[in-house]
């Protein structure tokens, strides 16, 4: 097959490496938590009773914040969202499913009356801008 690259790890090694990837308490998520807390806002983490278990839920402002990794959630036009070179069919399907699930969860939350903000991993290179975005988002409710 033209353009395919074989994996340098065995299936067992690849599985072990993939199992170490966190879905909660990631570095980007912790950065956003510190920003939000530092601005004086209080929140709840990963509420299981809400679609998509938002990373931060701010009930007083009827708002939720998701902190998305650019690769896993397919941030459009972002260099961090590039596809792997091997098993392209697998990755395209998996990552598109993630994107669709995100959209469905955000739509459900909006229908329930929640306001949704997504912070992308790449945006955290500019924490002051992210803080400004969060503050503006939360102040819309007042």
State pLDDT tens for residues 26-73.
Answer: 899 999 999 999 999 999 999 999 999 999 999 999 999 999 999 989
Which residues touch 37 (CB under 8 Å, ≥6 apart)?
43
Q: Where are the domains of the chain?
A: 23-139
Give the pTM. Answer: 0.83
What does R_g of the chain's alpha carbons equal in angstroms? 17
CATH number of 23-139: 3.40.960.10
pLDDT average, residue stretch 124-138: 96
Q: What is the mean pLDDT of the chain?
A: 88
- C-alpha dist (Å) from residue 115 to 34, 61, 93, 97, 123: 20, 8, 28, 23, 20
Report pLDDT for 46: 95
Confidence of residue 1 (pLDDT cuts 50, 70, 90): very low
pLDDT average, residue stretch 105-134: 97
Percent of the chain whose predicted confidence (pLDDT) is above 70: 82
Strand, helix or coil for residue 45: strand
Distance, in Å, from the CA atom of 91 to the CA atom of 108, rounded to the nearest integer, reads 26
């Amino acid at each position: 097959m033209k353009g395919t690259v074989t994996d340098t790890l065995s299936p067992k090694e690849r599985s072990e490496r993939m199992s170490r990837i966190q879905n909660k308490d990631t570095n980007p998520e912790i950065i956003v938590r510190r920003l939000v807390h530092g601005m004086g806002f209080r929140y709840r983490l990963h509420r299981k009773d809400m679609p998509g278990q938002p990373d931060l839920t701010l009930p007083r402002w009827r708002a939720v914040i998701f902190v998305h990794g650019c690769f896993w959630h397919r941030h459009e036009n972002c260099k961090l969202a590039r596809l792997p070179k091997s098993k392209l069919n697998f990755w395209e399907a998996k990552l598109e499913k993630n994107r669709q699930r995100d959209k469905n969860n955000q739509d459900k939350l909006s229908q329930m009356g929640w306001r949704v903000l997504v912070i992308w991993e790449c945006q955290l290179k500019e924490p002051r801008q992210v803080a400004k975005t969060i503050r503006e988002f939360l102040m819309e409710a007042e």
